[in-house]
Amino acid sequence: MQKAHDMFQEKGVVVLAISIDGTGERAVKPFMTKHGYTFPSLTARTMDVARQFGVRLVPTTLVVNRQGMIVGSGVGPVDLANPAFAQYLESVLSAS
């Protein structure tokens, strides 16, 4: 996620992590700091946010365009810095 954040932040792409860890920020903030992650992260102690987006498994990746529409999704680990995924994001950006 950090690589994707670094690659695309100047193009207006936001890489956002949402943790559903029940301990909330107490667990997430030290983890982010320890690993040097600089992309934004939110915590959701309940599954409300996940339910709103139809997320049933973690990790889930959602691609949301500038109009707020989900235009892509995937379940399981995703290499966001993979050239094929980067090309996909470029196509989403050019379509927006």
pLDDT per residue as tens digits for the range 60-69: 999 998 888 9
Fold for the domain defined by 2-89:
Glutaredoxin (3.40.30)
R_g of the chain computed on alpha carbons: 14
Query: Any idea where the domains of the chain sit in the sequence?
Result: 2-89
Residue 4 to residue 44: CA distance in whole angstroms: 22
Q: For the chain, list residues with pLDDT below 50.
A: none
SS3 (DSSP) at 90: helix
Q: How many CA atoms are closer than 13 Å to the CA of 93, on its beta-carbon side? A: 13
Residue with tokens 């934004």: 40
Output the pLDDT for position 48: 86
- Yes or no: say if 95 and 65 are a contact pair by the CB < 8 Å rule: yes
SS3 (DSSP) at 15: coil
Residue 71 to residue 64: CA distance in whole angstroms: 6
